[in-house]
Structure 1
Amino acid sequence: MDDRIRAHAETLVDWSARVDPGDDVVVRVAEGAHDLAVAVAAALGDRGANLLATYGSDEVTRAYLRAHDGDFAPPDAERALYDRADVFLSLRGGRNTAATADVPGDVRGAHARAREGVREARMATDWVSTVHPTRSLAQAAGMSYEAYRDFVYDAVLRDWESLAAEMARLTDLLDAGSEVRIVADGTDVTLPIAGRTAVNSAASVAYDSHNLPSGEVFTAPAGADGEVTFDVPITVRGTDLRDARLVFEDGEVVDFSAAVGEAALADVLDTDDGARRLGELGVGMNRGITRPTDNVLFDEKMAGTVHLALGRAYDACLPAGEAGNSSAVHVDLITRMDEGSKLLVDGEVIQRDGHFRWEAGFEG
């Protein structure tokens, strides 16, 4: 086994999930993540945790959804599993990144709504999602398998403590701010953030961070006005989405378009009322992620990008007692902060052309 797989597993168990002896850990293993699952199982055993491994397959999900009549009952048994769990680890890496592309949008939406209770129970655990490099993901990224493995481990096996210290600078600026403005090619949008909490997403539940790799700072905007063009291609519900454009008025999407995948975007927006509002503003800061790969887990963390998520807001960003935007979906859309771009907090430029004011290359 590649030593980097063991290092990945140890980072996941120790730094990210902070697993303790006796913890009940549910591990969902995707079709292509077997080697990482073996390494994670060894790490959990070494730490005296209790392991329950489950199988997660997009092809199995496709078969189920296409055969179902769409009248889904809440999966109470699965919810009970997460209600009892201390930690949930998702080891992603399937055989086909478009396995569910031909599932009808209304069926997807109904399934997502029926599973809201499961999602809430899972997110109440110390949960972490990560990816094992597979050939299908390498192909989706347009990379050789060998090059893709190097890319993944460059993103995952970082000095997370040092990156956390750097990201704290942005966290402090957002926490003290009232308004963010994003200006880039095809983008000029204003987002109120007063009273919201920014999360230093340093790949650990200790930072309210649940992805490995991570390397972003995110918050939950209270609204949005303006327009955004998302120029980083992504896959949404098994469908390519390219050059999506959203127009916001009083916090709600009032117009949208996409060069490719517009129907999939429409399906997301029609999921429920909250799907037309924003749940997240995120700023990518992981310089180990150097290019888009058609995998949002990596791409939204790429330094020199920002992302906005349609749908559900994370509780960690909200004041006590405030529910925030509620939705059955949380779909991230990404735009580059290239030459000519600006990120402003309360009118002050804190990033220009993708460089923060504390970095070399920033020109004030």
Structure 2
Amino acid sequence: MNTPPSPPGAERADGSPVRIGALVPLTRPGWVEAGQHLLIGLESAVRDVNHADGIAGRPLELVVRDTAADPQRAAAAVDELAGLGVAALAGEYHSVVARAAAARADALGLPFLCSSAVLDALTEQPTQWVARLCPPQSRGWRTYADFLLGAGHRRIAVATQPSVYWATGTRVLRECLASRGGTVIELDMSALTPAAVCDELADRRATALLLLVGHPEPAVPIVQSVRHDQRLAEILIGAPAGQPEFAEWARLLGEDGAAIPFLRYLPERLSPLGVRVGTALRERLAQTPSFVAFEGYDTIAVLADVLRAHGADRARTAESWPRVAVEGTRGQIRFSRTPGVSVWQWAGAPIQVVDRDPARPDRFRVLHTG
């Protein structure tokens, strides 16, 4: 596609702010707690950038828009932010929403660094305009399948709802398990109650149930039903999408929410920057920061580095993705082209399978790394 001109004022050196549009889910049906962590990570990095003289003396400024897990709302926000002259877009947690935002950013020639949405195909065709920090879904969920197989699980049930995200995850799991003699049993939550899920699990002799559903409904009622069904005392409950990462999970489920493995995108050890940032994030959140907060911080760290090196010109920002080399909170960030992924991808993003410790549900145990 032709490169559109940068908006008027993109290269001004008069001390006016360099603006970045931030897309985050802050109201229902969006995952509000995830959106709050993402936003605080973004804001914390902006504060640090501005304490270090901003972008060549110009302050960095976030222009925040609530996507509320609505793809149409996100696409409209991209149009609005492009008209406001933002240098780039950052953020978004929900994959289907990020896909809509990425498609619109690509059409408008607006650089978008996606923080937390994992769908492999964020755009229909390869694009120069979009890059991503979190691992693609295929890599993360293959890691989760490896964990299940290593723990001896070959007969896996998935409680699922209609969504391209859940359908893609189910396909990845099925392919990985089938290649090693495993089976995936789909349970359609548009037709089943939590009690009926328990009956299906008992009848089909599944050894694990994965929650490919929304939070808190119906994930929380399903966990409660399974945990209190004596027939299912030995079944593993898993949540690859990361629902147990956030404090609301522990608050709603208590001990029932422990020992439920999920994917988390943190390394074994944070970088020195990550340790410092983690302390600051903990103070702002009044709780342990999630991996999503670190993703938010790293997003701004990358964009600030690009803007300092190449100015606020949109085309130059997009052209710079393959030359990025930024020390983030979770390791050095570089982007490359990955087979099957339509955007510039941080191929080295860390992956863990963790759960909440039954002895101390506020503490996480690392079960597997990928």
Bigger relative contact order, structure 1 or 2 (CA pairs below 8 A, ≥6 apart): 2
TM-score normalised according to structure 1 size: 0.28
TM-score using structure 2 length = 0.27
More helix by share: 2
Name the structure with the higher strand share: 1
Greater Rg over alpha carbons, structure: 2
